[in-house]
Chain A
Amino acid sequence: MEKLNRNLPPQFKTIEHVDIPKSKQDVLSNEIPIHIISGGSQEVLKIEMIFNAGLWYQKSPLIAGTCNSMLNEGTEKYSAAELAEKFDFYGAYIVYNNSQHDASVCLYTLNKYLDETLDLLEEIIKHPTFPEKEFKTILSNKKQNYLVNREKTNALAKEKFNSLIYGDKHPYANIFEANAFDKVQLEDIKTYYKDRYTADNCRIILSGKMDESVLSKIENRFGASAWNTKSSHTEAKHEFLCSDERKVFVLKKDAVQSSIRIGRPLFNKTHPDFAGIMLLNLILGGYFGSRLMQNIREDKGYTYGINSLLLSHLKSGHFAIVTEVGTDVCEAAISEIYKEIKRLREERVPEEELSLVKNFFSGEMLRNFDSPFALSESLRGNLPFGFDNSYYETFLQKIKETSSQKIMELANTYFKEEDLYEVVVGENKA
């Protein structure tokens, strides 16, 4: 047997192409769009009903979220306890998502109980009753969770950062005080439901293992007739209001670590530079091998973790570096963060590093699209922008074509130090 050379890595293949299974688009008889992703190894289904009913449209805080999470708190046929009993008996999960623009109800069910669980889904979508008692319990529990969360430095940093880049009043910041919980009126929740949870304000994503019968079962319950109709939906307008303040310190007494957020408002994934920025973000702080992680964690040991992220909202987006560091090293960590950003503006990324990041990203694409449920998650994020997962076919190509020259240009355009906002929450200013 030839001697094993452990110093040399084995041959490997670069991923040239990522196969993204296409979703099929159909419409129910009442014109509700339905997107279908068929496949998977298990006999399970995910049915997500998405409404334009997010924070964007609420007149005061907490309306959209409370409305969304109260859908299963009682219907014309069943009490909250009965609904919970039935969902549990069929081993189904019901998950509520409430985001900036949309809100959804997502059913995970075994195929063998599809009839029963779809009946329940129909009940909670079409006939919720919003009982007073459940309303009070839910709000009181939400308020407690809110107040516990405010004891965390990272939650405070996130809130402050979002208010600086979007403005206190903007739904993308979604800021409110504890007393907002006492001001929510049940009538407002009911009105919000009537206005926004309607057939003409809805789309469905269906994913998992299925045959033809699944679609007809959905058609029977949600497509055959008009339901919760409303002739017009009131539109909402919100202006962005970036703060003049660039650096903010928030005191959190007795904190043993400081939370840091550094970043800026940015465009969303429809922008031509998005692929390039994605690559730039990866290099800076988007994976374990990133420069921030290698420098601030793996070389200095200042933190358990540091990441940077890009967030795409429908009408904007942002870039942020997020970390929690020991109080004593906070100042040093911040200075290293700026140093790494500066290095991206002033020096080209070496070709080996660039090729590594591109290869890693291809692998991430494979992981992100591995299973019908993962595809449906990604599709949900794309649909509001008007495209489906085929978006990523050209995206990968654009990533591969991005040069180190282009990355340096992007860093100079978008990562200027004077454009960045900085928030520190902790025991002292460092």
Chain B
Amino acid sequence: MIEFDKFTLDNGLKVIVHKDATTPLAAVNILYNIGAKDENPEQTGFAHLFEHLMFGGSINIPNYDEPLQQVGGDNNAWTSNDVTNYYLTVPKENLETGFWLESDRMLSLAFTQKSLDVQKAVVIEEFKQHYFNQPYGDVWLNLRPLAYKEHPYQWSTIGKCIEHIENAQLQDVKDFFFHHYAPNNAVLVVTGNVETDEVRRLAEKWFGPIERRDIAARNLPSEPKQTEFRSLHLERDVPYDAIYMAFHMGSRNDQDFYKVDLLSDILSNGQSSRIFQRLIKEKNLFSTIDAYLTGDFEPGLFVISGKLTEGVSMEDAEKAIWEVLDEVSATKAEEYELQKVKNKVESSLVFSEISFLNKAMNIAQHEITGQAEDINLEVEKYNKVSTDDLQEMAQKILIKENCSTLYYHAKKQ
């Protein structure tokens, strides 16, 4: 049970405070309700590029990092298709420095040409490092547009292509900021060795004066139901063949999410899971293989990805995956097996609550998709899932006409 206090400032900023007295530190986490899905299809990668620019100096503070390091703090950020999350940790005595820095960059950025030019170059190197200079690095650049034809999940947070990053202009950056970054489009979570009264005082002092902004209404195209099997063959200079299968499913907020999550756990969470035991241990068809959910805020994907054992044909490998999937549709799982994955979920939640920073991020995610209180209902929601539910989800989701398969062939030497 995670206890917290919650209040909203007049400008719409939601603030949540969770005290963890076992640490000498405090975390400040700000989640903005803006992600890659909000981008113009001709200007992709912008939300993520923008995250970099948030470190390029704000209206009153020329350098973000230095004053934070000066007080013993550290920080980072990440962007997903749904949101952008900024976090820092400081010794608890220096909490106010975090408020000062975060509120100023919510107020306005410095918007310098130099910062934009440099960060475009940095992000292009990031693009190359993660997507082109790694074996199998470009999988998601190809799998997303195969699975999504209309919805903006068809591009990755890094963007569709390097040209989109190169083309970003300073005016675009300013527009983006004032349309998406605002107190009424964010959640502030403070955790660690902190008191709610003090956080309230600091929040009102530093964030209170920032005015509300008009947030562009989100009006995303929905993805039409997939009705037939899709496939794509790629040939690349990699040592082994690989296969990637993506199935459409509901959103993170959907009640079915918990059923599908446990279904994926039965298939692939831990060494005792079906896919690991059958396809790696018994049949030796794959050197690695996983099933997992993207967990997106809008209808997401159930993904299976595996690297084939040398000498195994793509047909045999694919057939073996379908056998495991068909079995989970045709036959109800044992109660024992369901209990096992429920235990694992409960355990991973307990372990994830060791870190006060982790808790801050999790609380913020729950608040932005629904309400923070839901964080304490997770175990209960998982516990309600039945073996019938698992079978029903498998029959609904793990079927051929709902599947997009990327066949990733190793180039013959």
* Cα distance A256–B71 in the bound complex, in angstroms: 39
The residues of B that contact A141 with a CB separation of less than 8 Å are 280, 287-288, 309
The answer to whether A324 and B133 have CB atoms under 8 Å apart is yes
* Cα distance A254–B344 in the bound complex, in angstroms: 43
A81 touches B (CB below 8 Å): yes
The answer to whether A356 and B272 have CB atoms under 8 Å apart is no
Instruction: State which of A85-93, A185-193, A195-203, A241-249 sits at the interface with chain B.
Output: A85-93
* Cα distance A80–B271 in the bound complex, in angstroms: 9
The residues of B that contact A134 with a CB separation of less than 8 Å are 281
Given contacts A88-B272, A371-B355, contact A9 B129 (CB under 8 A): no
Q: Mark B309-345, 1 if CB is under 8 A from A, else 0.
A: 1100000000000000000000000000001110110
The answer to whether A362 and B72 have CB atoms under 8 Å apart is yes
Beta-carbon nearest neighbor of A360 in chain B: B69
Given contacts A10-B100, A12-B71, A298-B118, contact A367 B25 (CB under 8 A): yes
CB distance from B209 to the nearest CB of A (A): 6
The residues of A that contact B383 with a CB separation of less than 8 Å are none
The residues of A that contact B280 with a CB separation of less than 8 Å are 137, 141
B93 touches A (CB below 8 Å): yes
The answer to whether A6 and B118 have CB atoms under 8 Å apart is no
* Cα distance A326–B128 in the bound complex, in angstroms: 8
The residues of A that contact B61 with a CB separation of less than 8 Å are 6-7
B73 touches A (CB below 8 Å): yes
CB distance from B51 to the nearest CB of A (A): 13
Within 8 A of A (CB), among B101-143: 103-104, 107, 117-126, 128-130, 132-136
Q: Mark B15-47, 1 if CB is under 8 A from A, else 0.
A: 000001011110000000000000000000000
The residues of A that contact B60 with a CB separation of less than 8 Å are 6-7
Q: Which of A43, A152, A257 interacts with B135 by CB under 8 Å?
A: A152
Q: Which of B66, B107, B209, B309 interacts with A356 by CB under 8 Å?
A: B66
A373 touches B (CB below 8 Å): yes
Given contacts A15-B72, A301-B121, A304-B126, contact A41 B287 (CB under 8 A): no
The residues of B that contact A42 with a CB separation of less than 8 Å are 350-351, 353-354
CB distance from B270 to the nearest CB of A (A): 4
The answer to whether A144 and B70 have CB atoms under 8 Å apart is no
* Cα distance A290–B277 in the bound complex, in angstroms: 46
A236 touches B (CB below 8 Å): no
Given contacts A110-B347, A137-B280, A256-B133, contact A144 B309 (CB under 8 A): yes
Q: Which of A324, A367, A373 interacts with B89 by CB under 8 Å?
A: A367
The answer to whether A91 and B72 have CB atoms under 8 Å apart is no
Given contacts A10-B96, A370-B23, contact A84 B118 (CB under 8 A): no
B168 touches A (CB below 8 Å): no
CB distance from A261 to the nearest CB of B (A): 15
Q: Mark A363-376, 1 if CB is under 8 A from B, else 0.
A: 11011001101000
The residues of A that contact B66 with a CB separation of less than 8 Å are 289, 356
The answer to whether A44 and B354 have CB atoms under 8 Å apart is yes
Among A148, A152, A287, A325, the most chain B Cβ lie within 10 Å of the Cβ of A148
B67 touches A (CB below 8 Å): yes
CB distance from A418 to the nearest CB of B (A): 30
B14 touches A (CB below 8 Å): no
Within 8 A of B (CB), among A71-88: 80-81, 84-85, 87-88
- Number of A interface residues in the complex (CB < 8 A): 72
Beta-carbon nearest neighbor of B192 in chain A: A370
The answer to whether A144 and B91 have CB atoms under 8 Å apart is no
B90 touches A (CB below 8 Å): yes
The residues of B that contact A147 with a CB separation of less than 8 Å are 239-240
The answer to whether B354 and A19 have CB atoms under 8 Å apart is no
The residues of A that contact B288 with a CB separation of less than 8 Å are 141, 144-145
* Cα distance A303–B124 in the bound complex, in angstroms: 9
A302 touches B (CB below 8 Å): yes
The answer to whether A140 and B284 have CB atoms under 8 Å apart is yes
Q: Which of A19, A356, A373 interacts with B70 by CB under 8 Å?
A: A356
The residues of B that contact A33 with a CB separation of less than 8 Å are none
The residues of B that contact A132 with a CB separation of less than 8 Å are none
Within 8 A of B (CB), among A37-57: 39-44
Within 8 A of B (CB), among A1-36: 4, 6-7, 9-15, 19
The residues of A that contact B89 with a CB separation of less than 8 Å are 363, 367
CB distance from B14 to the nearest CB of A (A): 21
CB distance from A314 to the nearest CB of B (A): 29
B97 touches A (CB below 8 Å): yes
The answer to whether B70 and A87 have CB atoms under 8 Å apart is no
The answer to whether A363 and B271 have CB atoms under 8 Å apart is no
Given contacts A141-B287, A301-B121, A304-B129, contact A367 B74 (CB under 8 A): yes
CB distance from B292 to the nearest CB of A (A): 16
The residues of B that contact A289 with a CB separation of less than 8 Å are 65-66, 69
Given contacts A9-B100, A304-B126, A363-B73, contact A288 B65 (CB under 8 A): yes
The answer to whether A84 and B125 have CB atoms under 8 Å apart is no
* Cα distance A322–B24 in the bound complex, in angstroms: 32
A410 touches B (CB below 8 Å): no
* Cα distance A303–B128 in the bound complex, in angstroms: 10
The answer to whether B22 and A40 have CB atoms under 8 Å apart is yes
The residues of A that contact B133 with a CB separation of less than 8 Å are 152-153, 255-257, 324
CB distance from A405 to the nearest CB of B (A): 22
The answer to whether B347 and A91 have CB atoms under 8 Å apart is yes
A297 touches B (CB below 8 Å): yes
The residues of A that contact B94 with a CB separation of less than 8 Å are 12-13
B237 touches A (CB below 8 Å): yes
* Cα distance A356–B97 in the bound complex, in angstroms: 14
The answer to whether A39 and B22 have CB atoms under 8 Å apart is yes
* Cα distance A43–B351 in the bound complex, in angstroms: 9
CB distance from B320 to the nearest CB of A (A): 15
Given contacts A91-B348, A92-B347, A152-B134, contact A304 B71 (CB under 8 A): no
The residues of B that contact A360 with a CB separation of less than 8 Å are 69-70, 72-74
The residues of A that contact B65 with a CB separation of less than 8 Å are 288-289
The residues of B that contact A43 with a CB separation of less than 8 Å are 350
Beta-carbon nearest neighbor of A145 in chain B: B287
CB distance from B361 to the nearest CB of A (A): 16
B195 touches A (CB below 8 Å): no
Among B100, B269, B273, B310, the most chain A Cβ lie within 10 Å of the Cβ of B100
* Cα distance A120–B65 in the bound complex, in angstroms: 47
The answer to whether B307 and A144 have CB atoms under 8 Å apart is yes
Within 8 A of A (CB), among B35-90: 59-61, 65-67, 69-74, 89-90
13 new A-B contacts, CB < 8 A, other than A134-B281, A144-B307, are A4-B205, A9-B67, A85-B272, A140-B287, A152-B134, A152-B135, A153-B133, A255-B133, A287-B74, A326-B128, A356-B69, A362-B91, A370-B23
Write 25 A-B pairs (CB below 8 A) sorted by A numbering: A6-B60, A6-B104, A13-B94, A15-B93, A39-B22, A40-B22, A44-B351, A87-B271, A140-B284, A147-B240, A148-B239, A151-B134, A151-B239, A152-B135, A153-B133, A299-B118, A301-B118, A301-B121, A304-B129, A356-B69, A359-B72, A362-B91, A364-B72, A366-B25, A371-B22
Across chains A and B, which 6 residue pairs bring their CB atoms closest together, nearest first?
Answer: A91-B347, A363-B72, A301-B121, A84-B271, A6-B60, A304-B126
